[in-house]
Amino acid sequence: MKKGLSTKEVTQQLNTFGYNELPSEKPKNIFHIALDIVKEPMFILLISCGILYIILGDIREGIILLSTIFIIIFITFYQSQKTEKALNTLKNLSSPRALVIRDGVETRIFGREVVPGDIVILNEGDRVPADGYLLESLNLTIDESILTGESIPVHKSAQQEANNTNHLIFSGTLVVQGKGYAEITSTGINTEFGKIGSSLLAIEQEETRMQKEMKSLIKNLFIVGAILSASVVVAFYLIRGNFIQSLLNGLAAAMAILPEEFPVVLTIFLALGAWRLSKKKVLTRKPSAIETLGSATVLCSDKTGTITQNKMDISAVYDGNQSFFKHSFSEQQTKIREIIQLAHLASQENSLDPMEKAFTVAHSQLENGLVSDFQLLKEFPISKSLLAMTRVVKDNASDQILVATKGAPEAIFSLCKLSEEETEKHLKIAKDFALKGLRIIAVATTSVNETEIPENQTHFNLQFKGLLGLEDPIRPEVPQAIKDCHTAGIKVIMITGDFPTTAKSIASQIGLPDDGVIMTGEELKNLTDEELKNKIESVTVFARVVPEQKLRIVNALKANQEVVAMTGDGVNDAPALKAANIGIAMGIMGTDVAREASSLVLLDDNFASIVSAIRLGRKIFDNLQKAMAYIIAIHIPIIGLTLLPAFFPSLPLLLMPLHIVLLELIIDPVCSIAFEYEQEEKNIMNRAPRNPNEQFFGAKRIVSSLLQGLLLLAMTIAVYFASLQEGHTDGEVRAIAFSSLIVGNVFLILTNLSKTRNFFTIITEKNWALWMILSIATISLYLILTIPFLQGVFNFEFPGYQHFIPALIGAISILIILESAKYISIKQIFKTR
């Protein structure tokens, strides 16, 4: 053990077992990202439309359309690189270094260079670099919450016993106290840490509902477009007899039917959504999760480090006669000062043990930061035979020798030689504290002469002073965040490795329903998947759960058609994080394995950020639906006005390529920027999540969009024929009808921006992107109608301002109809609340 491995042996082990690291997804380069994007059906559609424009001779529009692909690839690549960079930074910060003995010399190396057979020296504050077993230990305590979910550190011993794993150490765990020597047995994927990471490879992530629906929608659009295009070619040929012209009209109809804005809008919404989430300290690893986030129906949360702060805090003090709780500490300082001071003196200085840190912090607060001048004379460490720790200190101010002892209540009662009656009295308080989910520590004291310090702590004449109840405090933002989830119709389930009594106490503090069922891991183990699926609907807390069971819980919820968001930070959470619809890992406390498995990473470990992300997910989902609905609606009049002259040869052409280009200059930025920028709906967090079985763009929404489009088409055709009746020239008719289409389009945009706010509210809001686009469109239309050169380019003639009144009246009529329909819809929405 003193020599450790030789350099030659290390090289051999590295060649055999490889580096002590887990395989992770390599960052994608721009070519892989481009390939993934182009493989998407929406982008196949986009490329097809671009090539179609070029075939038709509209090279400029085709090139512009194809250029958008490169813009989208750049946005996606930038977001991907930004995400990978942030994750690598987190990974480097959490990567441990290890102190090993090699060639007889203590050497500090990178954790990835540790090999089986290495002798590792473990000191307070070290991360255990790999799995192994202890050779020697001195008062060694390790926090294994990152692996097991248990917040209480585990006392370790080199002594090997049957059915006991306390001599084993595990990769990624933290030494909070003491020192030890260990021999490494497993590294990399062979560690317990690595086995969980490797199991993630067997979990396949499903496509999101939107991705499935988009594929179906595109397929249907292609079928409809093909049928209608073929019909146009046949009809045009039968009426006019020119096959080439008929074919070109059929292709033009196909372009009008196929809304090429869909892929642009979808990608821009998700890319900008990822950017907006990053501003809220939420890192997006999978952009598709943003859409799913707004549909979450269940939020499963690990307790330790997610709901709680993964630290210890004094919550209750008992002085032998009376109990005091945290809320009254400030008024009872004199009664609790001695007990907390004894607990502090019985603790090591600058300890990493969460319990001892809690005593130090509480003592400092009571003493207003003043440092007591005590000198350590002797320390009696905790042992398996006696769960108590004693420190003998000298008060330099008074030269008094003070003995401070802390430990398990039963051990302290025995050391103090309490009567059966006294023991029963104090044990009752300890049990009451335990029912509140607290960890109990007893303290005792005595004074001795410096020459009378015994060799064993059992020889002190100790006096019992009191009990301290410690808890892992909940994060302050959690109760409100859970309340917001309930208001939003999202069920919260807490999953923990703690005992049911502790779990119930935490559940009560954070606001989970009192009537919720608590199921233990043992009960879960005895249920079949079908039984679990039926019973899980009433469960709000899972206690004493092991990692494999977390995965079963997520799968059972998904089997019930729930959209599951799962939060966690430890290795034990990783399989469930990957299996969930949305895996949310903690960025600061979280492990690399958890981050790799997740869709989102909370950079600030703030539970409230989850609610903010859900709110933003719902907003993005709403605005995306509205943008898609608008795209379909505005394409109806474009299709109708394109086909009208094909079936009625005597009518003048209304829409020419440049007219459609001008419309696209309004439609594209409005869809991808103005709708994305629009604020959230009023009831966004006061409504139930989207029904998992409800389609993103179902028949009802499509019919609504079609009706809006047909209304605008009917109005434009009415103005068109009215202008013809008045005897205007073809150029004047075209100018009037096109103006009515543009103004009607503006009103269509304004009324579609919100489902719960009326037109007048919308126009007073600060959607600068919208007003900039509409201003440019209005100015462009005015210049085209009034400047002779542009009139010639667009085949317009100016009829006089008074002749645009029918166009304005028609557009206002559409606005009144659509706003009335919205008013009725809003009343129904809030009536059901």
Active site residues: 302
What is the distance between the alpha carbons of residues 145 and 105, in angstroms, rounded to a whole number? 32
Contacts of 431 (CB under 8 A, 6+ apart): none
Residue 372 per-residue DSSP state: P
* DSSP label of 305: I
Q: For residues 660 and 638, is the Cβ–Cβ distance under 8 A?
A: yes
Contact residues for 423 (Cβ-Cβ < 8 A; gap 6+)? 413
* Rounded Cα distance, 617 and 680, in Å: 10
Find out whether 405 and 460 touch, Cβ atoms under 8 Å.
yes
Half-sphere exposure of 572 (CA within 13 A, CB side): 23
| Cross-strand partners of 379 | 391
The three state secondary structure string of 528-587 is CHHHHHHHHHHEEEEECCCHHHHHHHHHHHHHCCCCEEEEECCHHHHHHHHHCCEEEEEC
Q: Residue 405 phi/psi, 5° resolution? A: -125, 140
How far apart CA 178 and CA 184 sit, in angstroms, is 19
What's the rounded Cα separation, in Å, for the pair 173 and 127?
6
d(CA 177, CA 352): 6
Query: Helix, strand, coil: what percent of the chain each, to 5?
Result: 55, 15, 30
Name the strand (E) or helix (H) holding 25: none
Alpha-carbon span 575 to 580, nearest angstrom: 9
Q: How many CA atoms lie within 13 A of 68 on its CB side?
A: 25
d(CA 87, CA 96): 16
Q: Which helix (H) or strand (E) holds 169?
A: strand 168-169
Q: Per DSSP, what are the bridge partners of residue 143?
A: 174
Q: How far apart are CA 629 and CA 754, in angstroms?
A: 12
Per-residue DSSP letter, 127: B
Cα-based angle 149, 153, 156 (whole degrees, multiple of 5): 120
CA distances from 382 to 138, 156, 416 (A): 9, 11, 16
514 SS3 class? coil
Compute the distance between CA of residue 66 and CA of residue 69 in angstroms, rounded to an integer.
6
